[in-house]
Structure 1
Amino acid sequence: MLRWLSNNFTSPARLRVQGVLGMNERNINCISGYNPRHLFPLVDDKLQTKLLAQDYGLATPDLLGVIRRQADIQHFSRFLPESGGFAIKPAKGSGGKGILVIQHSCGDRYLKSSGEWIGKQVIEHHLSNLISGLYSLGGNPDVAIIESLIHSAPEFSKFSFEGVPDIRVIVYRGYPVMAMMRLSTHASDGKANLHQGALGVGIDLRTGRALQAVQHDRPVYRHPDTGQLLDQLKINNWQTLLQLASRCYDMTRLGYLGADLVVDADRGPLVLELNARPGLAIQMANGMGLKPGLQAIDRHCAALRGPELPYNERATIAQALFTAEVCSARALHVE
């Protein structure tokens, strides 16, 4: 059965007791402390991240094409697959803004993941806004990435509505410390974006099972659209996903990182994107603060002798540390 937060979790005193990481502390101790600014472009630019991952041997959704100029927009269809869907993303977008997911095309008509049909002109207008920088960080000119469509693993079909669920893993100094799955809803327009109404489901770092779920920071027991009980959610091949998240640290050398992963029905685990400034809502989804996990990793690294451990050992150690040192932080007086 899922656990649920009590109202006491929101009081300042309870936040401190439960080890909740605040924004200022995150910015100073985690981001400034472990993320050199010259490395930010590796993850702020999704195209650069994708190309880096390809060189590093990490699987990502297939890159179909890149549109850099307004003059190239009218020829966007040359990048599209003969059958199946595709996704259009801004290279420098944030928070899921500017992502357009197309499930199917028929001539000049395109079916969105929400079930709405749109015309070619709508896509061209979207691409024009995207390249102009409407969705980019700072409003600077951007480029459009066209990717192959991800087909969600069958075991997640009842847990998400008209969209592919993704898995956010916080990686600290190369070690996974907290994870959640984001499930799309009708309210989120089929996107796994918490601010738009997607569900955040805390995931037990040891087992890959659901701990609790929230929507707009309020607890939920069932998916609002499918009716599926959320306590039945379990992620298969969990160890593989944790190892993939750990490898993202090796690839970027960012010590505080949000790794967004998906499980494709055919290709398995993929790196969707990376974030050098991951948000803190994952704590609400898990019903616990990040600080106990970060402190456990700090103690482990301080005692470590010899070279840096490989990614697979770091993933295993993170799970063991979570069991031994962080588990007590889950006593949250839940209802």
Structure 2
Amino acid sequence: MISLFKQFESAGILGINRRIGEFILPNNPRKFYPLVDDKWKTAELARQFHVPMPKHYGRKDTFGGIQKTKEMVIDHPGFVVKPANGGMGNGILVITKSEKLENGKVLYHKSDGRVLLEKELNHHISGILSGLYSLDGNSDTCILQERLECHPFFQEISFRGIPDIRVIVYLGYPVMAMLRLPTKESGGRANLHQGALGVGVDLSSGTLTHAVCNDKLVLFHPDTKQTLSGRIIPYWNLILEMASRCFDMSNLGYLGVDIVLDEKRGPLLLEMNARPGLGIQIANRMGLVSRLQIVERIVNAADEPQERVHRMLREL
């Protein structure tokens, strides 16, 4: 067992304890966690820093307001329901279209092909408000958000839902990135814990490299059967600059930034994470430690986001 740990250490693999002790605790003051844990507060912050995000149609704070959900999204047949304080994709519903029935009720079509009755949607929102999906188990707020249209780059290689790009940012410098592709198993959601595909990304060019699904290396998407390596993500420099800017927004020194590509609007900030997971190392087949050490060597507090990106890429 000791030799196994030595192998991980020599390969520069960042473990959970070291991630917390050396990078999260010293660089992420607890007082700033609500800015990233609460997606509504994140959206307000993004507006101040002119970082584009999906539009919010409204929020539900009380059980009494649940029955008015239908009116809130009447002009938006496709929308997303999510807990403000949720994590790991739990509690998120993606509605692709709404269908009004003869009795006046509404039928909601989900991204995984299944349908929800109006009362079922309201019941799900009730669960969100009860804190069923919140990070701390306390009562929560439900957000009704714009449903994005998948960028053409992903239409061939993704299954139904909207993929996202996770970028690990340390002291404002992007250090590693991964593309997360929805699968049938994940229900169209880009969450690795639910069976989504993680694909390593060459930080310098945005080129897809290795892929992993359920912690196993794969050569192609299990549902679309498309190979992934060699494809280049569009807007790559803009994505890295946006991720870098999130350091200035959040005041968190070690964070995960999730960005989506909309067909019309391009890169949009989906959310930030103060405790990003370590699976990104598997997808990239390399450890985070060496990248984090680069940042500690080159960090310059005066750098703007664009300068931080360029400085980091020159070191790779």
**Normalised TM-score (structure 1):** 0.90
2:8 to 4, 9, 15: 15
The 1:262/1:81 distance shift into structure 2, 3 A limit, reads farther
Q: 2:310 aligns with which of 295, 305, 316?
A: 316
Which of the residues 168, 171, 182 maps onto 1:170?
Answer: 168
Name the counterpart of 1:104.
Answer: 97
Aligned residue for 1:40, secondary structure, equals: helix
Query: Deviation string for 1:190-218 (max 9, x for gaps)?
Result: 00010111000010000101110000110
Partner in structure 1 of residue 253 of structure 2: 255
1:317, distance to aligned residue in structure 2 (A): 1.1
Q: CA separation in 1, counterparts of 2:74 and 2:290?
A: 46
User: Deviation digits for residues 253-300 of structure 1, max 9, x if unmatched?
Assistant: 110010000010011100000001101111111100000000011011
SS at match of 1:97: coil
3-state SS of the aligned residue for 2:153? helix
Instruction: Please list, as runs of the form range in 1=range in 2, the aligned pairs for 1:92-241 lying within 5 A after superposition.
Output: 92-107=85-100, 108-241=106-239
CA distance in 2, matches of 1:22, 1:130: 32
Q: Amino acid of the residue matched to residue 135 of structure 1?
A: Y
2:49 partner letter: Y
C-alpha RMSD over aligned residues? 1.2
Contact 1:21 1:291 in 2 (8 A): yes
- 1:168-193 per-residue CA deviation (whole Å, 9 max, x = no partner) reads 00000000000000000000000001
Partner SS, residue 138 of structure 1: coil
Letter in 2 for 1:43: V
Q: What is the one-letter code of the residue matched to 1:139? A: G
SS at match of 2:209: strand
Give, in whole Å, the separation in 2 of the partners of 1:253 and 1:82. Answer: 36
SS across alignment from 1:279: coil
Q: Please, which of 28, 32, 43 is the counterpart of residue 36 of structure 2? A: 43
Segment of structure 1 superposing worse, 69-78 or 229-238: 229-238
Q: Percent identity?
A: 46
Structure 1 residue ranges without an equivalent (≥5): 1-9, 324-335
Match of 1:73 in 2: 66
Unpaired segments ≥5 residues, structure 2: 101-105
The AA in structure 1 aligned to 2:50 is: G
Q: Distance in 1 between matches of 2:302 and 2:30?
A: 22
Note the alpha carbon deviations across 1:118-158, whole angstroms, 9 max, x for none.
11011000000000000001210000000010111111111
CA distance in structure 2 between the aligned counterparts of 1:92 and 1:210, rounded to whole angstroms: 31
- Structure with larger RCO (C-alpha < 8 A, sep 6+): 1
Q: 1:56 to 1:223 in 2, by over 3 A?
A: same
Name the CA shift for 1:84/1:266 in 2 (closer, same or farther; >3 Å).
farther
Instruction: Give the equivalent residue in structure 1 for 2:288.
Output: 290
* Moved >4 Å (runs of 4+): none
> Deviations along 1:14-55, whole A, 9 cap, x unmatched?
211110001111101111111111111110111100111012
State whether residues 209 and 230 of structure 2, in contact with CA within 8 Å, keep that contact through their aligned partners in structure 1. Answer: no
- Would you tell me which structure has more helix in proportion to its own residues? 1
Aligned to 2:257, the other structure's residue is in SS state: strand
Q: CA deviation at 1:81?
A: 4.7
Q: Does 2:302 match 1:300?
A: no
1:51-90 CA distances to partner (integer Å, 9 max, x unpaired)? 1101211100001010000000000012215244100010
- TM-score (norm. length: structure 2): 0.96
- The 3-state SS of whatever aligns with 1:170 is strand
Amino acid at match of 1:162: R
Equivalent position of 2:47 in the other structure:
54
- Preserved CA contact (<8 Å) 1:84 1:149: no
The 8 Å contact of residues 172 and 294 in structure 1, kept in 2 or not, is answered as yes
Query: Counterpart of 2:207 in structure 1: which amino acid?
Result: R
Q: Distance in 2 between matches of 1:206 and 1:265?
A: 23
Separation in 1, partners of 2:242, 2:95: 27
The letter for the 2-side match of 1:24 is N
Q: How many pairs were matched up?
A: 309
1:151–1:164 Cα contact (<8 Å) kept = yes
75-84 or 285-294, which deviates more: 75-84
For 1:330, the equivalent position in structure 2 comes to none
Q: Is the 8 A contact 1:199 1:214 kept in 2?
A: yes
